[in-house]
Structure formats: C-alpha cells, structure tokens
Chain A
Amino acid sequence: MNSLLTPLEFEKSIYQIEDKIEELKNLSADSGINLDDQIKILTEQATEYKKQLYSHLSPSQKLLIARHPKRPSFLDYVSLITTDWTEFHGDRAGTDDKAIIGGIAQIEGKSVMLIGTQKGKTTKENIEYNFGMPQPEGYRKALRLFYHADRFNLPIITMIDTPGAYPGIKAEQTGQGIAIAVNLREMAKLEVPIISIILGEGCSGGALGIAVSNRVYMLEHSYYTVISPEGCASILWRSADMASTAADAMKITAEDLLKLGVIDGIIKEPLGGAHYDWDLIASELKNTVIETLNEMSNMSGEHLKKDRYDKFRRMGVFVE
C-alpha cells in the first residue's frame, strides 16, 4: 500500500498486516535468515483479505473513499486522459465560477468538450474551488459550453464530484434552482452525445445539473443521491448521527443504482480506491469513454435526443 496515505478507520488492520510484512523483510535482511516463504504466504493472505474487505464495503465506508482528499479530481483526469486541454472561462454575465470547469481537448484524437465540478486537495485549493459546490453562475457557464459543443459537434463528457450546489444568499438571489432546472431542460435538447461519470460525490440537483446524459457511469466507490446521508438523517431521523443508517437506506452505491436502472455502468477502481493508483483508474475511465463514444458515433442528433428522453422517461417505480 501507498505509505504516503493515511489509513481510513476500516483500513487500519491492513496497514498493520503490511507493517508486519515489512518488519519481517527488514528482519530477514538484517539477520540473513531466509523468511521468503513466510513473507510470501503472508503477502498472499493480505492481498486476499484486502480483496474481501474492499468488495464488501458498507455504504458509509464507501463514503469515506468517495470523499478521500487524495482521490483524483476532474482536472487530474483531464491531464491523465486528454491532450491539448484548453480551458474556457466565464458565464459572460460577470462571473467565472471555479467550482465548475470546462474546456475542449482530445482523447485519442477525438475532439470533445469536458465539463466537471472541481474539488481541491488542499484548503487553499478548496477555497478556490468552493469545495466543489457551484453557484448558479457555474451552471450557466456549463450551459454556455453545452451550447458551444452542440454547435460544433463536440461530444460532451461531464465529470461529477460535488457535495451539492452551494446553499447561500447570493445563490438564491441569482437563481440556484432555476439555473439547475434550465440545464436539465436544455441538456435534453442537445444533439451531441453526452457521457457523465460520477467520480466521487454525486449529491442532489447540484450533480444532476450537468448529468442529463445518454450514458451515466459511476466509479466503483462513488455515490449518487438525492440528498447527502447527513442531510437525510437530520431531516428524517432528526439526527445527523444517523448518517450511516441513512446511507444504507438510501441505496446510494454504484451497485444499487445499476440495479435500479439509474446508471448504465460501473467503472472498476484499483484495490482500495482510485487514490491508490491514479494511472490505473484513469485508463479504466478513458477506455469506458472511448468505447461509449464509439458506440454512439453513428447516432444522429435526433436519435441521441430521443435516446436521452427515453432513458429518463423510463425512470421511476409505481403501480397503475
């Protein structure tokens, strides 16, 4: 495991085992006693244990991975999977919201528009990106870029990692709800393929505001929900302490949402989560994007629109 990472609570046992293996290796080197067999067995057992642990994570354990400060961000993926990234700024009405970033680039020679919510890794970065919480102006910047992509035949790839749209005074004054609603409506009208990937947190309308897409994928340990488990707990259970109960009840994991038909696929993460191997997760994500773009390359604008309409039209469970 990466020694630069601080273990999460449920990972501590793994780190302890790995420390032991490390000790044995040192002991063997110092004393000259051959411990290779023991080390081999222990390493195999540790790997097996890790596989088991990470494939049976509870929703609240996944939350910790999804929110991990070292998890690659939208801009990290941009630099890992694209060439010639060219960022575009501003809503043309007075603001450049840094929580939503957009621009054009190429992925294996294919020209695309990329738009994503951006979180930082340090406090300084997080203040700059407002912890990935867009203002209405951010959604309007995204909308402008959607229209641009539509005019110039650029498939749109959006990446989402947000605890939600920002709740503030100015955000209400400038129409947070309206800005999101307009994006939902206008995305339905676009005649280019749209692919969305939930990278970490996909929280509420703030996430959906750039995710009315032909295909929606989630990273294995990301989550997608109508409200944060903490928010849900404080409303329905009247206590934010019940967040892990709420996380279970709300079915927020990629696996659950695939079953419910909310998403189209899951992008497998490296053992332990995306932050353990950026290159590996980036190549998985890139493959998914390329495959999906190829799959949609022969669809007409009208067909793409209908495909998107039908996809969301089917969603919901009721009896009649």
Chain B
Amino acid sequence: MSLRDWFEKRRNKQMNADLVESKISGDDLSKLWGKCFNCNTSIPQKELNQSMLVCPKCDYHFRISARTRIEQLFDENSFNEINKNILPCNPLDFVDTMCYKDRQQDACKKSNLNEAVVTGIGNISGWEAAAAVMDFAYMGGSMGSVVGEKVTRLIEEGIRRKIPIIAITSSGGARMQESCLSLMQMAKTSCAVARANEEKILYITVLTEPTFGGVTASFGTLGDIIIAEQGARIGFAGRRVIEQTIRQKLPPDFQTAEYLLKYGQVDMVSHRKELKETLEKIIRIHSQAKTFIPNELNKRISKA
C-alpha cells in the first residue's frame, strides 16, 4: 500500500467515523467494548481508557470529551471550573430545519454540557494554568456568544492571575445560528489574546480533531506556541468547499496535523500520551526564564 493510499483509506474511515462519532463519543464509559474507527479492532473499554482513548493497535486518536481531556491533563481534583452558568439564548429567533433552542437542548443531552466549552483554573504537574477546553459533542464545538464570552473571560482571568493560558480546540467553526454575533466572537476573543500578549502572559493552543473555520481564524491559532494533536484535521475552509472551488482532488493528507507541521503552521505535533508532559515542559521553561531588569528600573539606574 502506498503512503497515498494509506492516507486515503484512513481519511475515508475518519469520515465514516464522523457519522458514527456524532452519535457516540469515544469515552462512553457505560460500554464494555469500544471499536476503533480506523482499524476496526474491538478493544475493551477499560483498556481504551487506560490508553487515553488512543487505539492500542493503530494509534488512532478517538475524539474525546472536554471532561475526559481535563482529567487527562490536569492534576487530580485540581481543576476548578469557572463561568459554568453562562447559557445560550436565541437572539435571532433562528429556525432552520429545527429551532435553535431545540438544538441547544439536544446538544445538552448529547454532551452533558450546557455549552461547547469548559473553562477553569487547574494545575498541570503542579503548574497553575487557565484553560478553555472545547467539546465537539455540543453542536460540533461551534462558537457562538457563550463560547466567545467564556473564552474571553478565561483569558482575562489568566491575565489577572498572571498564569499561563491554554486553549484546547475542537470545533467546526462559528455557530451559524447566531450569524454575525458568532463572527464578532472571533474579534472579541482575539482582542483578549492581544491583551495577554501585551501583558506577556504565555498563551498555548492545542488544536485537536477537528478545528476549522472561525476557531482556526481566531483564538485557536493565536497561541504563542501552537500544538496539534496527532492525526487531527485542522484548517480554515472545509475540504468540500475547497474541492468545489478548485475542482480538483486534494492531497490525501491535506489539513492533517502532520501536513500543517510540514508547512510550518504549527510548532509541533503531539501524541495524546505526551501532551501533558509537553505542556508542563513548555510552561516550566517559560516560568523559569530569568527575569531581566524592567525597562523603567533600567532607565533610573542609568540616570543615577
């Protein structure tokens, strides 16, 4: 099998997986067995959980919930959620084939969350950090007013506490049901990142399967360091839109984490098992950097 075929096969499976995964998430703990969407192997759920929801046979990374992600990355019981009672409305009275309000209710049931992002403060191997973790199970992780507000408040909180900020994305993009208000969340969150930059607060983004559209084009890719999780599909425009526009076949590995690394768009690709260690290392090295004499002090010294 050529490399191209291998990617092609993997991608097709991933697309099929989307259909299935939209119904069941990989970390459904009530099941006894999980099935790998890539290699079809049946794996005892217990073993799957121990391997951080990565297929022990083929390394396929299952899509995971925000809660599971937090458990995997943060020290036990260290994560304190903030702003969890910010809830969505239906400002445009939006109805497509279904009312937006009903979609929100369905999403709650499916994801066990009241919106597509969980934010809070926790410790990564002892290092305190502010984190926003998205969950694809809530309306495809789409960003509307609530996601924008929670991410912005989280960044502002990180700045206030002078601790590193981490955003872990999984999103189809801006939420269409809030139209231009969703678009404005891109501006809002990016303005907050600007303040983090000016205060020299470290901001790390981890792009996970999948990250597209409005999240890619705002806080998702604004990390001082950008980490992509192995195998994740990441891009601005969707594959189908590009194919329709250019009327040609796309390379099979197009828009994968590995592809983005090759084109210099991300700093590194991380296996799920190495993610915590990588984050800890980056935070520690930055936190332990030597403090130079601040400019104002420097001026005063040279005047004297």
Which A residues form the contact surface with B (CB < 8 A)? 165-169, 171-178, 180-182, 184-186, 188-189, 204-205, 208-209, 211-212, 224-227, 231-232, 235-238, 246, 249-252, 257, 260, 262, 308-309, 312-313, 315-320
- How many angstroms between the C-alpha atoms of A174 and B237 in the bound complex? 13
**Is B237 within 8 A of A176, CB to CB?**
yes
**Is B180 within 8 A of A189, CB to CB?**
no
Those 4 A-B pairs whose CB atoms lie nearest each other, nearest first: A316-B145, A167-B237, A177-B216, A184-B190
- How many angstroms between the C-alpha atoms of A221 and B290 in the bound complex? 56
- How many angstroms between the C-alpha atoms of A204 and B183 in the bound complex? 7
**Is A188 within 8 A of B190, CB to CB?**
yes
Stretch at the interface among B25-33, B47-55, B84-92, B157-165: B84-92
**Is B254 within 8 A of A205, CB to CB?**
no
**Is A225 within 8 A of B221, CB to CB?**
no
- How many angstroms between the C-alpha atoms of A225 and B86 in the bound complex? 24
Count chain A CB atoms within 10 A of each CB in B185, B214, B220, B237 and give the residue with the most: B237
Q: What is the minimal beta-carbon distance from A218 to any residue of chain B, in angstroms?
A: 11
Please tell me which one of the listed residues B96, B191, B214, B246 contacts residue A308 in the complex, with CB atoms under 8 A apart: B191
Stretch at the interface among B2-10, B34-42, B193-201, B274-282: B193-201
Please tell me which one of the listed residues A165, A169, A208, A313 contacts residue B183 in the complex, with CB atoms under 8 A apart: A208
**Is A237 within 8 A of B97, CB to CB?**
yes
**Is B181 within 8 A of A185, CB to CB?**
no
- How many angstroms between the C-alpha atoms of A208 and B144 in the bound complex? 16
**Is B190 within 8 A of A168, CB to CB?**
no
**Is B96 within 8 A of A227, CB to CB?**
no
**Is A181 within 8 A of B222, CB to CB?**
yes
Stretch at the interface among B117-125, B129-137, B146-154: B146-154
Q: Which residue on A lies nearest to B221, using beta carbons?
A: A178
- Provide the residues of chain B in CB contact with A224, threshold 8 Å: 180, 183
Q: Which residue on A lies nearest to B85, using beta carbons?
A: A320
CB<8 Å pairs between A and B, sample of 29: A165-B237, A168-B246, A176-B217, A177-B221, A180-B218, A181-B221, A185-B194, A185-B197, A188-B190, A204-B214, A205-B213, A212-B187, A212-B191, A224-B183, A227-B176, A236-B97, A249-B92, A249-B95, A251-B92, A252-B180, A260-B180, A262-B184, A308-B191, A312-B184, A315-B187, A316-B181, A317-B145, A318-B149, A320-B86
- Provide the residues of chain A in CB contact with B219, threshold 8 Å: 181
- Provide the residues of chain A in CB contact with B197, threshold 8 Å: 185, 189
- Provide the residues of chain A in CB contact with B242, threshold 8 Å: 167-169, 172
**Is B96 within 8 A of A236, CB to CB?**
yes
**Is A168 within 8 A of B183, CB to CB?**
no
Which B residues form the contact surface with A (CB < 8 A)? 85-89, 91-92, 94-97, 144-146, 148-149, 152, 174-176, 178-188, 190-191, 193-195, 197-198, 213-214, 216-222, 235-238, 241-242, 245-246, 250-251, 254-255, 263, 265
Q: A172-B255, A174-B263, A318-B145 are in contact. Are A235 and B191 (CB under 8 A)?
A: no
- Provide the residues of chain B in CB contact with A252, threshold 8 Å: 179-180
**Is A318 within 8 A of B188, CB to CB?**
no
Q: Which residue on B lies nearest to A175, using beta carbons?
A: B265
**Is A250 within 8 A of B181, CB to CB?**
no
- How many angstroms between the C-alpha atoms of A113 and B229 in the bound complex? 40
- Provide the residues of chain B in CB contact with A227, threshold 8 Å: 174, 176
